[in-house]
Chains A and B, each alone.
Chain A
Amino acid sequence: MVNPNLNKDDSISLWQLFAILENSILGTGLLNIAKTVSKVSGQDAWISTLLAGFIIIPFLWCYSSLSRRFPGHTLVDYSTRIIGKLLGNMVNISYILFEILIAALVLRIMADFISTWFLPNTPIESLLIITLFLVIYMSQGGIRTVARTSEVILFLVVPFIILLIPPATRIEINNLKPVLQSGYVNIIKGSIPALYSFYGFEVLFIASAFISDTKKIFRTSAMCISINVVFYTLVVIAIIGVMGTEILKYINYPTIYYIKSERFPFFERVDLFFAFFWTFNIFMTIGIAFYSAALSMSQLLNLKPKYGRNIGWMLAIAVYFIAKIPKNSIEVARYMLYISYMGIVVAMLIPLILAVTAAIRHIGIKDDDKA
């Protein structure tokens, strides 16, 4: 791990930031969003999804404000400067913990997913270990490697989103009615599991330190989130429209079932095709969360680059054992909900508090673009 203080070799472009964000957000969320959200808000799940997305966008401004005040610095650099050593370190640790938990949980979901659909005879441990080796390798390469991989995988995976379109021709509008029937409370409650699908944007704490054009961070990240909001909402509408809400209570990975419900010419088992390529995306989610945790950890402990590079091995052990805690997919769903709640604090409240405090105490470079 190298010192993230901005130098020419270690900067990334806005487009790369977009790719990192997109890869960090897209992942296991898509596979289960219709199930987890409609469990709470029924046929109005799409409204919950929309709501969850738009709640996030104002918080992106906090990230961008922080990165403008502290260009070239990550969370660990500025949190102690803004709110003091004790509170700052608590923030840092909770952020690292959050990223480790995300990496572990997503890793576990991916391993479950792969072992259910493709490799039923492979022990889950070997899937975990192989993936972790790759993740460590990627995170050792630093931000440039992460950004490059993100770009490549984005180009690789996005075409497969087209596969989501043909089954949508069979949407029955009655499945989505009556609108707003599940009550406002349930719709708002439903946006909490929906938030899980959007987590990943907290990588801005790290990634925005490598951007030289800090003014455009908000624009890029807001665009990225908006695209995802629209995408997820459409997916939820399509899945509920085609399959109805009742069956979603019973099946796991409804998105795969949804793709499966259409017979394509020439292709057989398109679901597996999609699932296979989607695992790349899931891998990137793990990789980026892991990289964020490893980088923050080495900064927090003030490690020399020589040791910083190897902190990943330590974290990997933690991630491995956390990933093995849930017994089955029902427990995994419970942990996903916990993560959603934790994310509200880590990914939304912490940047808000930091940005507001920094503004009040005039810490960092003064905001000069008041336009």
Chain B
Amino acid sequence: MKRYVIGLAVMLALSLTLTGCWDAKQLQDMYMSYGIGIDTAEGQSNMVTVTLTAPTLTEGAKEQLQILSSQGHSIDEAINDMQAKSHQIISVAHDRVLVIGEQAAKNGISEYLDTFVRNPSIRNDMYVTVAKGKAEELLNIQLKQDPFIALYLTQLLEKNRRLSKVPLVTVVDLFGKMVDKDSDPVLPYVEVTEGRDGLIARGIAVFADDKYKGNLLNDGAVVFMMMSNKAKSVNLTYKSFKSTENDDVYSTVNIHGISNDIKCRLNGDKLSIDMKIKGDADLIEHKVTRPLSESDIGREEQALERELINDMNDVMRKLQKEYRSDPLGLCRCVKIEYPDYYDSIDWKSIYPDVDVNISAEININRIGTSS
């Protein structure tokens, strides 16, 4: 009997050593932010405004979201400063999305990225996006359909990536492009609707080095995604061959199996770059006037290719002349093919004037269930 008692006492005492929750943090004590926004502080270009958004976990709270904002010389300083405004422990370990304000992006983003890569407690697979206007404003809008704006934004980007309307860039990807001198980064570009109750994934923000230069919107963004070999499947609407001078007729195709073959050629001292985009298309929508014939398909393909080439030329012109940005990595192509030539030139200065010959070969393979 005595042995059992001692045994029981020892077991009970040992069970005390098994309690693993002595330093547990209650959920109510945590400010678990899901989105982080970065802006250049008003009037002080060396200060950064950081905005965090987190769900309120206290029951009966009036607002479902709690948004904090603070300024500092570094991101961490700003977050530390925020602690003064909150009774909870601020944690950025769960951040899903990093929103960069337009002005901050224009001033250069490389200085902000370091902490996201260096700090092991931050998820560095969080998405990065550029907001029209201020990131703080974007994180502050009231969505009717979903109170959690950061998660909504994450989903918005992921869903639009499927149709290749925006690229999906994580912090590490962005950091890699930033330190890589051979190619420039691009980020998704998001804008708040006029009624301030919704978000729109508008397209692509183009950077030169680490500075935001301009946008490729709508079709431009889709075509850019195709050119950078990042598009798996895209939907394009173009002017059908049936268009006449006073009546535009449109068709829509879904293009998949897209590949863009980039080759550079050096003729004497003249550098030119050939791009050939290939893909298979399904006809999705087509205004019927009569049944499609074999030659119609050929003409439809031609119309599509013509429009695609136009769009691509447009994108290239913007990238080369306006933004002077090389997100397609043409620089690396030249470096690989003609290393000696590359060493003798200053890529940045010749890039805007390089000839880019674009061609397209799209086959319409499927036309759906009607002809």
Interfacial residues, chain A to chain B (CB-CB below 8 A): 116-117, 120, 174, 177-178, 181, 243-244, 246-247, 249-251, 257, 260-261, 263, 269
Nearest CB in chain A: distance from B185 CB, A = 12
Contacts A178-B335, A250-B179 given; does A261 touch B121 at CB 8 Å: no
In the bound complex, CA of A216 to CA of B121 (Å): 48
Instruction: Return chain A residues, CB-CB under 8 Å to B335.
Output: 178
Instruction: Return chain A residues, CB-CB under 8 Å to B240.
Output: none
Instruction: Return chain B residues, CB-CB under 8 Å to A263.
Output: 125
Q: List 6 A-B contacts (CB under 8 A).
A: A174-B329, A174-B333, A246-B176, A247-B180, A257-B124, A261-B172
In the bound complex, CA of A181 to CA of B125 (Å): 32
Q: Any chain A CB within 8 A of the CB of B332?
A: yes
Q: Which of B290-348 contact A (CB under 8 A)?
A: 329, 332-333, 335-336, 339
Is A243 in contact with B176, judged by CB distance below 8 angstroms?
yes
Is A244 in contact with B180, judged by CB distance below 8 angstroms?
yes
Instruction: Return chain B residues, CB-CB under 8 Å to A116.
Output: 120
Nearest CB in chain A: distance from B19 CB, A = 18
Interfacial residues, chain B to chain A (CB-CB below 8 A): 117, 120-121, 123-125, 170, 172-173, 175-176, 179-182, 329, 332-333, 335-336, 339
In the bound complex, CA of A313 to CA of B181 (Å): 52
Is B180 in contact with A246, judged by CB distance below 8 angstroms?
yes
Which residue of A117, A174, A247 is within 8 Å of B179 (Cβ)? A247
Indicate the member of B125, B176, B179, B181 with the most A CB atoms within 10 Å.
B176
Which residue of B120, B123, B170 is within 8 Å of A120 (Cβ)? B120
Query: By DSSP majority rule, is chain A's interface helix, strand, loop, or mixed?
Result: loop
Is A117 in contact with B120, judged by CB distance below 8 angstroms?
yes
Q: A242's closest neighbor in chain B, by CB?
A: B176
Is B332 in contact with A261, judged by CB distance below 8 angstroms?
no
Instruction: Return chain B residues, CB-CB under 8 Å to A247.
Output: 172, 175-176, 179-180
Is B180 in contact with A178, judged by CB distance below 8 angstroms?
no
8 shortest A-B CB distances, which residue pairs? Answer: A247-B176, A246-B180, A177-B336, A246-B179, A178-B336, A116-B120, A244-B180, A117-B120
Q: B117's closest neighbor in chain A, by CB?
A: A251
Is A261 in contact with B175, judged by CB distance below 8 angstroms?
no
In the bound complex, CA of A120 to CA of B179 (Å): 28
Is B172 in contact with A260, judged by CB distance below 8 angstroms?
yes
Instruction: Return chain B residues, CB-CB under 8 Å to A181.
Output: 339
Is B170 in contact with A261, judged by CB distance below 8 angstroms?
yes
Instruction: Return chain B residues, CB-CB under 8 Å to A249.
Output: 179
Is A250 in contact with B329, judged by CB distance below 8 angstroms?
no
In the bound complex, CA of A263 to CA of B336 (Å): 31
Is A174 in contact with B336, judged by CB distance below 8 angstroms?
yes
Nearest CB in chain A: distance from B184 CB, A = 13
Nearest CB in chain A: distance from B296 CB, A = 38
Nearest CB in chain A: distance from B28 CB, A = 21
Nearest CB in chain B: distance from A292 CB, A = 33
Nearest CB in chain B: distance from A238 CB, A = 15
Nearest CB in chain A: distance from B183 CB, A = 9
